[in-house]
Structures are given as structure tokens and as C-alpha cells.
Structure 1
Amino acid sequence: MDVEMHLESMDLGETIVRGNNATNQSRAKAMIFLRHHINEGLKMEYLTVKNPHDWWNKLKERYDHLKLIVLPKARSNWHNLRLQDFKSVTKYNSAMFMITSQLNLCGENITDGDMMEKTFSIFHASNVILQQQYRERGFGTYSDLIVPAHPLKRMRYNLLIQAAETTKAGEMAEAKDMTVPSLVEIMAKDHISP
């Protein structure tokens, strides 16, 4: 994927596409780039290949099966991903993005919605009401959910006001102290540092 992007940035992306109309000079530049950045053993193995498209296809044939190895592991990692298995939100977030990148690379389309649903689904059982409140908040992206920011503070304030309005006059003092914890605070409760 990096090679494709780099070739594209050099205006050589068409050299590895079937039926391309690349000039000989473009093909030569692409071959120089590919040979410069490939393992010495592979360079010797494909020494006689002169066309970047042919070389690209030979490498794809040789290594495309890796998706068959990566995909089941990435699916398993996705299935077993749990917030409480990480010491920090940052580490959870890194694992989330690594797994989704692997799944996307293998052709599985993981959206922000999928990542948010995964995060909601791993809330601790004691936080079901909080999970529902987060769902109702309608976060647009995974980043909005995972990063405690101003919208979350507004949500906590609105919930505090709603609680205060529905509380009897004698219980108003208790309602003042009521807050909805942030995702980071929930993780801290479950002994996960932010």
C-alpha cells in the first residue's frame, strides 16, 4: 500500500496497473524505485523482470495470501477487544486503530459507527444506564466518543439540570452533587488509567 502511494506521488502509479500506457521512462523510474526498496533476495529472484506491472503482480501472487493469515487474527482481536484489558484509554485506542487498520487492509470495512458500537458494547454491566446515555448523546465519530471534550461536559451539565428538575425540592441538595462520569472516569472506576 505504501509503495502504491509513493509511486502515485511520483506520477508513476499507472506503471503497476494492467493495460497501462506508461512511457518507457516512467516504467524505468518505477523499476528503479521498486528495486531500491525491496529485499536483496527478492531483487535477485526477480532480476530478469523489466516491467513494473509484471513485478508487482508476481509480488502480489507471492504475498497476497498473507491476508488469509492476518484477517482471522484481526477478527479474533476485534472480537476479544475489551477496554478493561488495557491500562489506559490511549492503549485501548491504539489497539482499536491497529485492529481496524488490519481489517480494512483485508477488505473488511470498519466504520466509526462500528468502533463506537464496539466501545459501547464493552461497558461494564454496572454501567448499562451510562451506556444508554452515551448512545442517546449521538456522538458522530469514534473520536468524539473516546476523547473527553466540551460536548461531554455539556452533556453532563444537561443531565444534571434534567435530574434537578425531576428531583423533589427536598432532594435538591443531593442533585447538585450528581454528575455523569466521563468515559475516562468510568475506566478509572474499573481500574483503567486514562
Structure 2
Amino acid sequence: MANLSKREFVALNISGKNYLSWVLDAEIHLNAIGLADTIQNKNQASNQDRPKAMIFLRHHLDEGLKLEYLTIKDPLMLWNNLKDRHDHLKMVILPQARFDWIHLRLQDFKSNYEYNSSMFRIVS
């Protein structure tokens, strides 16, 4: 069954391909709704805030990830497990982006639009 309520941002894919943008979006939204301390180490989050943060985080996960982390009830533990699972992408994506940036040439594209699209993909 599809989620009935609208998501604020794209759910984390089970492959972790969008992990870096998802982390940034999740931190910003949790901060905006006053729940950012629930994902910090040694937090003093109240018993009411933890379930709210957990609902928010689970709402923005792929169905496969929800099933995989079904037994976790603490948002900090879920946050750290996802970080352990996907944080290595920084080491993989950054060198590839640097390589692409160095080898980006206008003459390799048919139009400025294609060049700009490729440039913005590398930057993001």
C-alpha cells in the first residue's frame, strides 16, 4: 500500500544511491520541526520526540529499508545504522566527481544545454 501522506523529500533508496542528499534533507527537516537532537549522540530528547522523529525517518525510507530496520525503535540507532551502511559513498562518489570535472570538455557535447546538464550533475 502506498503512503497516503505526502513526503517532504525523496525517500532513501535501498541501494543508497541518494543517501548524501537524503541525509542533508533529513537533517534540515528534523531541525525545522525541532527534532534534530534526536539523532545526535548523547542527546537529551524527550520520550515524546523520539517516536515523532522515528515516524518521520521511517516515512522517508524505501519499503525494503523499512522492513530491514523493522525492530529498531530509537531514531539515533536507525540514523547510525543507515550511516554505517551508506556513508562509504562519500569515498566513492567524490573521486569520481573530481575525475568527471577534470575531464569535462565543452567540445564533447552537442549543445550547451547538454554541457550545462552534465556540469550541474557533477557539481551536485
Question: What amino acid sits opposite 2:39 in the alignment?
Answer: I
1:38 counterpart (57, 61, 65) = 61
Please give the alpha-carbon distance, in whole angstroms, between the structure 2 residues aligned to 1:87 and 1:13.
45
Per the alignment, residue 61 of structure 1 pairs with 84
**Number of residue pairs matched?**
101
Aligned pairs for 1:6-155 (under 5 A) are 6-101=29-124
- Residue by residue, what CA displacement relative to the aligned partner does 1:8-46 show, whole Å, maximum 9, x if unpaired? 222212211111222121111110011122122221222
Q: Does 1 or 2 have the higher relative contact order (CA < 8 Å, sep 6+)?
A: 2
Q: What is the 5 A alignment of 1:152-171?
A: none
Deviations 1:147-179 (A, max 9, x none): xxxxxxxxxxxxxxxxxxxxxxxxxxxxxxxxx
**TM-score, scaled to structure 1:** 0.48
Q: Secondary structure at the match of 2:43?
A: coil
Aligned-partner Cα distance in 1 for 2:113–2:38 = 40
Shift of 1:5: 1.6
Q: In structure 2, how many angstroms separate the alpha carbons of the residues matched to 1:41 and 1:29?
A: 21
User: Shift of residue 100 of structure 1?
Assistant: 2.0
**Structure 2 Cα separation of the partners of residues 15 and 89 of structure 1:** 45
Q: Which has the higher helix share?
A: 1
Q: Runs of 5+ in structure 1 lacking a partner?
A: 102-194
- Bigger-Rg structure (1/2): 1
Which residue is equivalent to 2:16? none
C-alpha separation between the residues in 1 aligned to 2:114 and 2:31? 33
Q: What is the alpha-carbon distance in structure 1 between the residues aligned to residue 114 and residue 44 of structure 2?
A: 46
| Displacement of 1:78 | 0.7
Structure 1 letter corresponding to 2:96 = K
Q: Give distance in 1, aligned partners of 2:111 and 2:42.
A: 50
Percent of aligned positions with the same letter in both sequences? 59
Question: One-letter code of the match for 1:45?
Answer: E
RMSD: 1.6
